[in-house]
């Protein structure tokens, strides 16, 4: 008997056992970078999932069974993601996972979940490869990089009328994938980049790179990556007098972007793509108010994570806690969430994506632009 069959059999036995025992726990993993340079995003995922689980449990749980969350830290490292995916399946006996955050973690981990028949719903992984492989158990409640790349390229060419664009990426699955997606659309519009360069995650000194950007006289710098590198890069650009418009994607949608940049003045005017304000949906008004009453601003992916938990709970609830049946169900059923009604295609992608442009201001806050 293959390892995959054994794992799926064990999951089925666990589900049957849970159904037979009153008030058994429904174990759901929350996987992401809970430590390290990208922990701010892990905190967003945890806050959303934890709040959703508490609210669902307060209303009777899933078919009378209480959700038990397990925090799984992958630090946005692929090898660690595989390790914690195996732990969630073999030791924690999770039936579903909300996560991961980084696409470079989600892609290898999703194969582990598929073998075990575990439902996976990511709030944040946007690389197209994740769903293009056609795994039946993998879904995302965010958009794809080719979609936000299109929005960015359209803005750069059409709205800004840019002539010299420098494209920088962090060599990671997400960052390079996003940069390449924007590049492809921009090139299709007839505009070629004047610089295409990779940097290394964890680096802080980008003066040599800034010199290269200056040498090509770029009027726009597009960065594919996360806030931890974007912040120091834009600061060093401004310190050296470069006024080129700095544009990035949803990897900088965190207050930590301002912190690592050093001051709000350095992020003033920075543009980014992100989904339409997740705190503005009427269905989520009460949840947003509850967060704010507790002194928590549900920024970035908090509401996406809450939504992912709702998707998981709805699917499991409609299928007697069977994650394999729940995965099949999600491909043909709608789910009402705090971010509106969600519906998925055959790949596990949303039928509707809503990327728009945002701008950071001198107070270190971001808001949707008039698009």
Q: What is the pLDDT of residues 173-208, one digit of tens each?
A: 999 999 999 999 999 999 999 999 999 999 999 999
Q: Give the global pTM.
A: 0.90
Averaged pLDDT, 242-255: 97
Instruction: Yes or no: say if 30 and 72 are a contact pair by the CB < 8 Å rule.
Output: yes
Nearest to 124 by CA among 278, 246, 318: 278
Write down all domains in the chain, each with its CATH number in brackets: 2-142+280-342 (3.40.50.2300), 146-275+355-368 (3.40.50.2300)
Quote the percentage of the chain above a pLDDT of 70.
Answer: 93
Dihedral angle over CA of 25, 72, 128, 134, nearest 10: -40
Dihedral angle over CA of 271, 275, 279, 280, nearest 10: 100
Mean pLDDT, rounded, of the chain: 94
Instruction: Yes or no: say if 123 and 339 are a contact pair by the CB < 8 Å rule.
Output: no
Tens of pLDDT, residue by residue over 344-369, are: 999 999 999 899 999 999 999 999 99
Residue 233 banded pLDDT, cuts 50, 70, 90 = very high
Element containing residue 147 per DSSP (H, E): helix 145-154
Euclidean distance between CA atoms 317 and 96, whole angstroms:
12
* Residue 279 clears pLDDT 80, i.e. is over it: yes
Nearest to 348 by CA among 120, 193, 131: 131
Euclidean distance between CA atoms 299 and 278, whole angstroms:
8
Give the contacts of 265 (CB within 8 A, at least 6 positions apart): 238, 362
Q: What is the pLDDT of residue 370?
A: 80
Tokens for 285, please give them.
Answer: 């008004």
């Amino acid at each position: 008997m293959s390892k995959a069959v054994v794992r799926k059999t064990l999951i089925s036995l666990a589900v049957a056992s849970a159904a037979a025992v009153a008030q058994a726990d429904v174990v759901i993993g929350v996987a992401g970078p809970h430590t390290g340079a990208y922990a701010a995003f892990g905190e967003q995922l945890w806050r959303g999932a934890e709040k959703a689980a508490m609210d669902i449990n307060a209303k009777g749980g899933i078919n009378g069974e209480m959700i038990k969350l397990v925090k799984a830290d992958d630090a946005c490292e692929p090898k660690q993601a595989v390790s914690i995916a195996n732990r969630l399946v073999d030791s924690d006996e999770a039936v579903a996972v909300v996560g991961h955050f980084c696409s470079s973690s989600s892609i290898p981990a999703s194969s582990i979940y598929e073998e075990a028949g575990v439902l996976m719903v990511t709030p944040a992984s946007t690389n197209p490869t994740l769903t293009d492989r056609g795994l039946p158990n993998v879904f995302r409640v965010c958009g794809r990089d080719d979609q936000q790349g299109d929005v960015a390229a359209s803005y750069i060419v059409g709205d800004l009328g840019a002539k010299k664009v420098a494209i920088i990426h962090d060599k990671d699955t997400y960052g390079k994938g996003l940069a390449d997606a924007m590049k492809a659309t921009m090139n299709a519009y007839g505009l070629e980049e004047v610089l295409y360069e990779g940097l290394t995650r964890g680096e802080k000194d980008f003066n040599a790179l800034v010199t290269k950007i200056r040498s090509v006289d770029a009027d726009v710098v597009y960065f594919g990556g996360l806030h931890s590198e974007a912040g120091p890069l834009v600061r060093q650009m401004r310190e050296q007098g470069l006024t080129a418009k700095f544009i990035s994607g949803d990897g900088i949608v965190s207050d930590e972007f301002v912190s690592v940049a050093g001051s709000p003045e350095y992020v003033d005017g920075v543009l980014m793509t992100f989904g339409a304000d997740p705190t503005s949906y009427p269905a989520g008004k009460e949840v947003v108010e509850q967060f704010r009453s507790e002194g928590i601003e549900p920024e970035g992916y908090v509401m996406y994570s809450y939504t992912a938990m709702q998707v998981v709970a709805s699917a499991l609830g409609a299928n007697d806690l069977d994650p394999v049946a729940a995965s099949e169900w999600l491909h043909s059923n709608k789910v009402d969430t705090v971010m509106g009604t969600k519906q998925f295609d055959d790949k596990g992608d949303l039928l509707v994506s809503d990327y728009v442009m945002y701008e950071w201001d001198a107070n270190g806050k971001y808001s949707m632009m008039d698009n």
